[in-house]
Amino acid sequence: MSPPFSAQVVTLFPELFPGPLGVSVTGRALEQEIWRLETFFLRNYASDRHRTVDDTPAGGGPGMVMRPDVLARAIDAAIAAGDSSWPRLALTPSGRPFTQKDAEKWAKAGGLLLICGRFEGMDQRVIEARDLEEISIGDYVLSGGELPAMVILDAVVRLLPGVTGSPESLDEESFEGGLLEYPQYTRPRVWEGRAIPEVLLSGHHGEIARWRFEERKRRTRLRRPDLWSTYERREEEDGRER
């Protein structure tokens, strides 16, 4: 048995973990010791009587900033307990967007250190000094980095060997540069007056495949013009044999 994938999380709210990662696919994998989860409570690395973890922003402005010295002690404790080769992520709204490609890469890394931001953010010097990769999960404002850490761990853990009924291929899993999925139906055949599209009940596998392909293109064009542009460009290039 290979050593478990190790997830280390630096947070002000360790009680949030494992949270949703403790059930279903990821929860079973945790029980089976395919991966392990270790939290580092930031307040335990504070040095003063009040266990302060934040301070006012240099140059002024609203809110508070996470102190570099406290963060560094927590990060160093995690590195000492783990492996300095594991990727170190700072979850922040101004990071580079997380993608399925990242999940595929990090699933092969053996472990991951995730540092959850709170308040207005982290002192930039600790990000540089500990070589943290700044990552966001998308363009919306959350209250902190804990939910993003869970999103990333969910995406990574489900790719670990033995976790899910192994996908046909990682390529097939990712719709990057591709198309959205086709719509799904199951019984009953008619529900609230809505019938399953006739073609799906026809048994004509060629026609079914064609219909699904057209639906995938239609959806992608309407919902994801970004993916659609890439798809169209690739199609054109393929037509000219690159």
Q: Which residues bind ligand 9D3 (CB under 6 A)?
A: 91-93, 117, 120-121, 136-138, 140-145, 148
Cβ atoms of residues 52 and 106 within 8 Å: no
Closest CB to ligand 9D3 among residues 46, 137: 137
Closest CB to ligand 9D3 among residues 12, 227: 12
> Please, what is the minimum distance in Å from the beta carbon of residue 75 to ligand 9D3?
16
Closest CB to ligand 9D3 among residues 87, 197: 87
> Please, what is the minimum distance in Å from the beta carbon of residue 54 to ligand 9D3?
12
Cβ atoms of residues 35 and 156 within 8 Å: no
Distance, CA of 167 to CA of 172 (rounded, Å): 8
Distance, CA of 28 to CA of 34 (rounded, Å): 9
Instruction: Give Cβ neighbours of residue 153 (< 8 Å, ≥ 6 apart).
Output: 7, 21, 26, 37, 112, 114
Closest CB to ligand 9D3 among residues 63, 161: 63
Closest CB to ligand 9D3 among residues 83, 120: 120
CB atoms within 10 A of CB 109: 14
Instruction: Give Cβ neighbours of residue 18 (< 8 Å, ≥ 6 apart).
Output: 26, 27, 30, 37
Cβ atoms of residues 25 and 164 within 8 Å: yes
Closest CB to ligand 9D3 among residues 76, 133: 133
Residue whose C-alpha is closest to residue 156's, from 35, 11, 32: 35
> Please, what is the minimum distance in Å from the beta carbon of residue 137 to ligand 9D3?
4
> Please, what is the minimum distance in Å from the beta carbon of residue 142 to ligand 9D3?
4
> Is the CA virtual torsion 14, 19, 21, 23 positive or negative?
positive
> Is the CA virtual torsion 157, 169, 182, 185 positive or negative?
negative
> Please, what is the minimum distance in Å from the beta carbon of residue 235 to ligand 9D3?
32
> Please, what is the minimum distance in Å from the beta carbon of residue 189 to ligand 9D3?
42
User: Which whole-number Å values give the CA distances from 36 to 33, 98, 111, in the listed order?
Assistant: 6, 22, 9
> Please, what is the minimum distance in Å from the beta carbon of residue 158 to ligand 9D3?
20
Closest CB to ligand 9D3 among residues 82, 146: 146
